[in-house]
Amino acid sequence: MMASPLKLLLLAAVLLAACASSAHAGEEEVHEVKTAGVEAPEAEPPAPEEHDTAGHESDSDEDSHEDDHDDDHSWSYDGEAGPEKWSHLGYSQCSGQRQSPINVVTNRVIRRHFKPIVFENFNQIPEEMNMTNNFHSAKATLDWERTPKISSGGLPGEYRVINFHFHWGRMDYRGSEHTIDGESYPLEMHIVSQNTKYDELSEALQHPDGLAVMGIMFEVSRANNRAMKRLEPALRRIVKGGASVSVDEPPRLQDLMPWNTNDFYRYDGSLTTPNCNEVVTWTIFLETVKITQKQLELFRALKKNPAPIGRNYRPPQARYGRSVYLSQPEEEEVETIGFAGKTAAVRSGAPALTAGPLAALLTSPLAMRLLF
């Protein structure tokens, strides 16, 4: 027997209340995480590595490879111009108390349920992508018909993507800038975005909410990374420091990222290169991306003239009491995770919807009584 109009009205009221409750559930919820992480020091020292023998050539451009100025050759990753000396080379912020990268100690993080990050235009192919060996990294600059942006997810604003670049080491056991319980990854990718409320990068670099950087860890695998394969020809052509080429078939940004973007660490930090501006909201995804050994070796082959770049990571910095958050929805809270689960969010600018509580309500005894 069909439900009467009165019963339908009652059911609609219940559904509206459930939706309101679900919206409140998406607000930030904070509590201490009880995990079995390894107790590690705040700044895990990297494994000893030999220094380059080519003097103190710069591995850098101007302020950092998080920004777009590439002409400062006063610092390096080794020797007298290495990370421990940056603050003595005129980069005073490099000795600040909000520096990056850090070692994430998993049994000290605070769980905070952020809303899903909204990714806008990450599924489009760039109109143009240039890959540059700027003496310290492989850096991609891009042009789009519609600029990719990120928002929500606890970010203090809306951010537009301006570039991405990579950090690596000489061996597979060391290369990422961020470490998890003292463990490193062979490669880390940074997608750098600028707050849309600032017109110029120079202005954004003066404000604590100026930049948002997403850190993506790579692991060696036999499985071919098709998105990275599109970058291979360009990487082979920028071995020499200063070389810059156009990427013939650029990948989509979302294809370079992990599928699960709902699980991430979050903290306030800095650029990882001079000037070390403390203007970055960091997002470090838990899920890794795979890369083949041959693809990884393409990064290690890049030179700063005449020697290889070798390694281009800054050691972890002390937290100085900063909070590190873990946003990780429970399985029952999210039915679809990652870009597949955020298709609606990408298009509408709203957080991804979760159907778990709503489905439970529709099949509850109360709903059955109201309907029949």
What's the CA gap between 12 and 17, in Å, rounded?
Answer: 9
Considering the candidates 136, 165, 167, 178, report the single residue annotated as catalytic: 136
Half-sphere exposure of 264 (CA within 13 A, CB side): 27
Q: CA dihedral defined by 260, 226, 215, 88, rounded to 10 degrees?
A: 170
* Alpha helices (H) in 230-340, listed in sequence order: 232-237, 293-300
Catalytic annotation present for 136:
yes
What's the CA gap between 273 and 181, in Å, rounded?
Answer: 22
Distances in whole angstroms, Cα of residue 267 to Cα of each of 14, 101, 280, 324, 329: 38, 10, 9, 5, 18
Residue 349 CB: number of other CB atoms within 10 A?
13
Per the CB < 8 A criterion, the answer to whether 257 and 288 are in contact is no
Phi and psi at 309, nearest 5°, equal: -60, -40
What's the CA gap between 302 and 89, in Å, rounded?
Answer: 26
Residue spans of beta strands (DSSP E) within the chain? 30-32, 103-104, 110-112, 117-120, 128-133, 138-143, 149-152, 159-168, 179-180, 187-195, 211-220, 244-246, 264-269, 280-285, 289-291, 325-327
What's 327's DSSP letter?
E
What's the CA gap between 251 and 260, in Å, rounded?
Answer: 18
Active site positions, annotated: 136
